[in-house]
Every structure is written in C-alpha cells, then in structure tokens.
Amino acid sequence: MNTSTERFKAKTVRTVTSPSNEEVTTYYTWVEFQDLPAEIPLEVNPRKPKMNTSVAKQLINAVKNPDSDFDINNRGIVITAKSFKFNTNTSTVDLDLGDDITKYGILDGGHTYTAIIENRDKLPENTKKYVKLEVLVGKNLDVSALADARNTSAQVSDIALFELDDKFDIVKDAVAAESYSEDIAFKDNDNKRIPVVELIKLMFAFNIKRYPDDSSAPVSAYSGKAAVFKDYKNEYGEENNIYKKLSAHLPKLVELYEKIQEELPLKYSEFKKEDGKKPRFGGVRGIEGAGAYEALFTQKPISYEISIGFLLPIFGAFRALLKSKGDELIWEFDPMKVWDKVGTRLVQNTFDTDTNPQQVGKSKTLWQSNYRIVDSERKDLLLEKLMKQQQQ
C-alpha cells in the first residue's frame, strides 16, 4: 500500500510536546471546512459513525447552520499521524498518514468529520467555518489504548449534565396538541429532529422575571445553551416558576418565531428599497438561499435559511408585550400584529448594526434597542387604547 500524504490549507499551528513522553508531539490547527481532506481514514476509530442518531443530526445541523462559531462549540477531530509538517510560507500542512489505516487516521471525532464532509457543500459561498484538528505524532504511540480512552469517555450532554431528562413535563404538556409534538428529543437517546433546548431558548428569550425591561437582555438564548438549561433547572420546582407560566404561550412563541423567520426577507427588502438600495438578502453573510427550506418546528416551507444570530434579537424584543397578571402571563397586545407594524424597523435596526450574525446575536446593545422599538409601539398602542376608552 502506498504512503498517504494529505496537503491542505490550515490556520495557525500550535505545537506541544508531551511533558510525560517527549517522543509524542501534539499539533493543534484550525482548518476551514472546504479545505478539510475528504479521504482521511476512519478505521483507527473502533466506532463507525452512525449519522442517523439525534446527536449526529444535531452535528449535521451545526455544520449546515450559517453561524460561524463551530470551532468554538465543537470539540474537534483527533488524528494520529506518522508526521506533521507546516509550511509557514504557504500556510499548508503536509499530513503523513503512512500506509497502515489501523494505526493512522481519525481517532476521535468521526461523526464531526463525516458531518462536515457530507454537508459542507450546503453552506453559502460567503460563509467560512472552521474545525479544530488535534494531531498526535509519535513513534511509540499506543493507538489502541488511545482509542479506548478517547471513545469511552463520552461527552456529557447539557441535558444529562443538568439531570433534566425527566423534568420537561411542562414543555411536553404545552405542545401536546401541536404538529411537531412527536418530533421533540427530550432525552439524550431520542432519535428526533428537534432538541428540546430549541423550545427552552424561545422561553428564555421571554423570561421577563429575569429580564423585565431594557436594562438587560437574554443574550444567552443565542450564545449559551448551558446557561439556558441552568436557568430552566434553577426555576424548576419554584412556586413562581417563570417557565411554567411561559409554557402556556409556547405554541404562540413558536408561531411568532416562524412568522419572523418567514417574513424577514420581505421586511429586509422593504427597508432597503426605502433607502434607495437594491436588496440582496441572499448575499448577506449567514443567509442561505433562495431555495426550498423548512422551518424547524412546523416544517412549513421557507425561502431562506437564516442564522439564529439575526432571528433571536428580533424575536426576543417582543417580550416587551408580556406582563404578569396574578399567576399568569398575558399579552398586552398581539405580537403578530405588532410585528406587522414594526417588523421593518426591527430588521433595519438589526442589519444596520452588523451583518455578521455571530456579532449580532451576541450584541447586548442590539437586543436592548430592538426591545425599545417594540416597547415604544406598545406604549403608543396603550395610549391609543386609553384615548378610545375616554371617548366612549
């Protein structure tokens, strides 16, 4: 068998010599999805990737999602190699994988690798995403022991970490009558298309107990899945559990989120035309389309795949319309109708702030300013309502 050497573009390389075994060197580098070689052997890993599990499907969604922080959220790929050389002049790596596929290749991260190779062509052309490679090189590496160690220490999911597998009763009850109720993964091993965290994020963005006004913002709905689970856990069992109150509105929140998702391209075109500019929504970073896509929850057809970095700061602004009344939360005004009134302003404010969805999703000031737009409309509607009452 011929020696296999892969040459590919890579970002900065960090080299670490093992303090316990100086003959073993680990190279860390970051590779753009499109530059990742497609023929790295997987035989070193005793577990063949199964791409039909819920975890694998979440990985595939993470690869296809236009958000660019994959390398931050993903553990990456571990590779054993015969040698590793980095050419600083050309920023290319020569990865020598020898001629023994049972010794050299992908040791851990086979699901990540497979998800990238099989789905990277679905990313928009102007989206760059990276994966971290950890390459181990050493003459006397015990590959079998490494494979056992790396693959028996399964990553603990956020659900398991917070022991929430049996604590989603309020969510289950809230969506029991919805078309997507049977598609929600409430446990780690549920092979279903909607992770329960997607619903909890929607409620977190409307947590008026924690975020009652524009002085703070539920940015973690975008940037911190663990923080969302933790907040849900902390509220569980509390007499004044905000998520129990919010769950009554969960179908409405899903409806609002998908309405924004569906109509955002039109609102974008409206404000661009008002500015005298030609709208090119599909050319924005983090937007995939136009094409045939489906909304996550109801699977209704949508024309564009839009980064949640753009969607959540708009969606979360409508918590300004919720208020406590006794043991319940009520809408002061219908969020759908308010979206119809201020949607264009919200979209303009969002895209004028930044066109990088990662920066937009994490921008506290944007979340706050979008909230103020909705709150201002709420006050106008309230004044209009009071005036009509006085005239009667």
pLDDT tens, position by position, 51-99: 887 778 888 988 988 777 889 888 899 999 999 999 999 999 999 998 8
Show the domain range for 358: 159-391
Give dist(CA 131, CA 70) in Å, integer: 7
CA nearest 371: which of 284, 312, 309, 286? 312
Is pLDDT of 165 > 90? no
Indicate whether 121 and 174 sit together in one domain.
Answer: no
Sign of the dihedral defined by the CA atoms of residues 272, 276, 282, 286, in that order = negative
Single-letter amino acid, residue 99: D
Residue 201 — very low, low, confident or very high, per pLDDT cuts 50/70/90?
very high
Indicate whether 116 and 240 sit together in one domain.
Answer: no
Instruction: Give the DSSP letter string of 16-53.
Output: EE-SS-TT-EEEEEEEEGGGS-S----TTSSSPP-TTS
Is pLDDT of 282 > 70? yes
Contacts of residue 76, defined as CB under 8 A and 6 or more positions apart, other chains included, come to 109, 112, 131, 132, 133, 134
How far does the chain reach from its first CA to its final CA, in angstroms? 91
Percent share of the chain, pLDDT over 90: 60
3-state class of 176 per DSSP?
coil
Indicate whether 194 and 245 sit together in one domain.
Answer: yes
Contact by Cβ (8 Å): 21, 138: yes
Looking at the structure of the chain, the number of domains it has is 2
Across the range 142-160, mean pLDDT stands at: 59
Indicate whether 137 and 175 sit together in one domain.
Answer: no
Indicate whether 184 and 100 sit together in one domain.
Answer: no
Indicate whether 196 and 83 sit together in one domain.
Answer: no
The domain boundary, picked from 155, 188, 204, lies at: 155
Indicate whether 237 and 373 sit together in one domain.
Answer: yes
The domain boundary, picked from 92, 126, 155, lies at: 155
Give dist(CA 210, CA 242) in Å, integer: 9
Indicate whether 144 and 244 sit together in one domain.
Answer: no
Indicate whether 163 and 145 sit together in one domain.
Answer: no
Indicate whether 16 and 77 sit together in one domain.
Answer: yes
Residue 153 — very low, low, confident or very high, per pLDDT cuts 50/70/90?
very low
